Amino acid sequence: MPKHGSESFFVLGEGLLAETRGGRARTLGAAAEAQVAPFRFSRMGPKGADRQLSEANLKRLGNAMVGPDGPAARVPAGFTYLGQFIDHDLTFDQTDKMLGENVSPARLLQGRSPSLDLDSLYGAGPSDPASAIFYESDGIHLKMGKTVRIGGDRAMEGFDLPRGAGSSAAARRAAIIPDPRNDENLAVAQTHLALIRFHNRVVDSLPGSVPDGQRFARARRLVTKHYQWMIKTDYLPRICAPGVVNDVFTNGRKAFEVGAAPNAMPTMPIEFSVAAFRLGHSMIRSAYNWNARFDNGAGTLDLLFEFAALNGTLGGSQRLPSNWIADFRRLYDFSEANKPNLTVPEAKFNRAMRIDTSLANPLKDLPGFPQNEANLAFRNLVRARMVKLATGQQMTRFLKSKGVQLTALTHAQLRDGRSGADLGALTQQQRAAVLKNTPLWFYLLREAEFNAGRLKGVGARIVAETFHRAMEGSQASIVRDPSWRPEFGPNRNTFRMVDLLLFAFEGKKKLLAPLG
Ligand code: HEM
């Protein structure tokens, strides 16, 4: 089963917090590795040293959190996998794309710091020998791949990730992209492809007067800033209380790396990585109306994994079979951009599951893990225990002490939730333990339950501040360049995911939904 999380957390000032040394692989020669820590995690709030629940309690709680699909949300399902793509961008360790020689410590640090620079798309850029393979021979456009014909669905250029390098069947199947985690399931893979197309279209839109030597850098800056704008104005307000996002982006941070030099290297708070941003797990559906061929729930989560190459086999093929090409009209709502001709009936549309304390059934049994460790909810909870993460109550107190205004959940709210996980199967003692020292992830998902499936309070603060800092510390940054405005949307203030897709796919139905 795909693993897109770390197994070890190098927390600045604390060292390696984990039971295993696993985690992200060492990517450089020993000498270069020694110069810099692994990916830079930090702790935003206090330690929850004596507040951790026993594994037995976490097991009960984890079981209570996974079950039949609960209520869906209004959020289009594409945003689930956009979230996964963003997570990979934030946590991408770029150092294996650096050659290990003559790499300055600053560059090493940057490669292992969270940023929203799209290095998961660009690697270290076309002039870096280890990354040149991702680019066309002009060194400016990114490569795309061709699907393989199946039945009446012909092979189509530009609808799969590039593949085909290497000698073994598995190596030829692997996507030629900087971050292989973006080929972990078909939904995130097609999201990556949309970003490749977006970059290529931006390159083509540059005026001819831009000299060859500057075209790539110019395009990358434009792409990155549009992407950040879309995250800030479209993605974040869908998953987080918009008031909190606005407050943080207007008035600055109160709790995380306050006063850091804007372009100093950011770190990734474990409260975000081990708890808050795992919110995406509750958005996953067990099945999708994927496209005209795999309709009415036939696009199951299992098949989305099979039709990617990190752990799947593309159905035994070397490239994506054409009948699996995404129908983006079913994943994003183009009526937001006044394109009624690019919409599908509600019954065909996919909405994400509500962000809440319940996860879809298949996540109870992740293949590839020992049976008693295969429940994703349990894994998240136990990971938090491992790093002694602060509890929901501790983070509430901590954030309040930093001047953040928020209302703590009441005992009854935490216990009963609103159509989320039912704690009825826990013994009274177990329930009391959970309600006293509530694991942060559970706490912030409960908060979302009382906010129609959007993070608020503690969860919203952690997510908004972490994103703000990651954008601030990125090489191209809309936070450090507040007068910047998008140019590829309908007006100078608007650039949403639907605008990105419209630009990338030329606004054409035959590209956004080639199977009809
Ligand atoms: C398609 C479905 C997905 C599956 C099967 C999946 C599975 C996993 C697994 C197995 C882990 C490691 C758990 C552990 O042992 O600690 C993990 C970590 C994580 N996941 Fe997911 N995930 C999915 C989608 C998402 C989405 C949509 C988001 C966010 C929007 C997300 C955010 C995270 C984060 C933030 C981590 C920790 C990352 C890190 O350690 O750096 N995941 N996921």
Token couple for 233? 């104005």
Per-residue pLDDT, 37: 63
Report DSSP state, residue 353: E
CA distance 4 to 188: 12
Residue 389 CB contacts under 8 Å (≥ 6 apart), including other chains? 48, 270, 271, 274, 275, 439, 440
Token couple for 461? 């603060």
Question: How many helices (H) does the chain have, and how many strands (E)?
Answer: 20, 12
200 lines ligand 1 (CB under 6 A): no
The residue whose CA has the least distance to atom 19 of ligand 1 is 5
Digit-coded pLDDT (tens) for 284-300: 999 999 999 999 999 99
83 lines ligand 1 (CB under 6 A): yes
- Evaluate whether 418 touches 449 at the Cβ level (below 8 Å): yes
Label residue 1 by pLDDT band (50, 70, 90): very low
CA distance 458 to 443: 8
359 lines ligand 1 (CB under 6 A): no
Between the CA of 70 and the centroid of ligand 1 the distance, in Å, is: 20
Token couple for 299? 């696009």
CA atoms within 13 A of residue 356's CA, in its CB half-sphere:
28
Which ligand 1 atom minimizes the distance to the CA of 239? Answer: 30
What sign does the CA torsion over 268, 399, 75, 236 have?
negative
Helix/strand/coil for 439: strand
Nearest 5°: phi and psi at 150? -145, 125
Q: Please report, for residues 35, 36, 89, 123, 140, the alpha-carbon distance to residue 178 in angstroms, rounded to integers and kept in the order given.
A: 23, 21, 10, 5, 15
Per-residue pLDDT, 166: 83
Query: DSSP for 158-169?
Result: EEE--B--SSSH
Q: What is the CA radius of gyration of the chain?
A: 22
Report DSSP state, residue 143: P
Digit-coded pLDDT (tens) for 74-92: 999 999 999 999 999 998 7
Digit-coded pLDDT (tens) for 33-72: 666 667 788 999 999 999 999 999 999 999 999 988 778 8
The fraction of the chain above a pLDDT of 90, given in percent, is 81
Label residue 15 by pLDDT band (50, 70, 90): confident
Residue 103 CB contacts under 8 Å (≥ 6 apart), including other chains? 28, 32, 95
Q: Give the mean pLDDT of 448-462.
A: 98
Label residue 21 by pLDDT band (50, 70, 90): very low
CA distance 175 to 166: 11
Label residue 247 by pLDDT band (50, 70, 90): very high
Which region, left, alpha or beta, applies to residue 53 given φ > 0 means left and ψ of -120 to 50 means alpha? beta
CA distance 270 to 286: 28
CA distance 511 to 81: 19
Q: Give the mean pLDDT of 18-37.
A: 56
Label residue 106 by pLDDT band (50, 70, 90): confident
The amino acid that residue 510 corresponds to is K
Averaged confidence pLDDT in the chain:
92
Digit-coded pLDDT (tens) for 410-438: 999 999 999 999 999 999 999 999 999 99
**β strands within 69-226, DSSP E:** 72-76, 145-146, 157-160
Which ligand 1 atom minimizes the distance to the CA of 366? Answer: 5
Whether 281 has a pLDDT exceeding 60, the answer reads yes
Whether 19 has a pLDDT exceeding 70, the answer reads no
Helix/strand/coil for 228: helix
Whether 20 has a pLDDT exceeding 60, the answer reads no
Q: Please report, for residues 28, 130, 216, 290, the alpha-carbon distance to residue 99 in angstroms, rounded to integers and kept in the order given.
A: 8, 7, 21, 40
- Evaluate whether 267 touches 12 at the Cβ level (below 8 Å): yes
477 lines ligand 1 (CB under 6 A): no
- Evaluate whether 12 touches 41 at the Cβ level (below 8 Å): yes
Token couple for 45? 């709030």
CA distance 482 to 251: 13
Per-residue pLDDT, 101: 52
Report DSSP state, residue 142: B
Which ligand 1 atom minimizes the distance to the CA of 383? Answer: 16
Per-residue pLDDT, 32: 61
Per-residue pLDDT, 233: 98
Q: Please report, for residues 173, 182, 289, the alpha-carbon distance to residue 300 in angstroms, rounded to integers and kept in the order given.
A: 21, 18, 9
Which ligand 1 atom minimizes the distance to the CA of 272? Answer: 35
CA distance 268 to 276: 12
Percent helix, percent strand, percent coil in the chain, to nearest 5:
45, 10, 45
Instruction: Write down the residue that tokens 């059934």 correspond to.
Output: 361
65, 281, 359, best to mutate for ligand 1 pocket (most atoms within 8 Å of CB): 281
Label residue 366 by pLDDT band (50, 70, 90): confident
Q: Give the mean pLDDT of 229-233.
A: 98
Angle between helices 440-449 and 392-401 (to 10 degrees): 80
322 lines ligand 1 (CB under 6 A): no
The fraction of the chain above a pLDDT of 70, given in percent, is 92
Per-residue pLDDT, 161: 98
4 lines ligand 1 (CB under 6 A): yes
- The secondary element (H helix, E strand) that includes residue 359 is strand 359-360
Digit-coded pLDDT (tens) for 463-512: 999 999 999 999 999 999 999 999 999 999 999 999 999 999 999 999 99
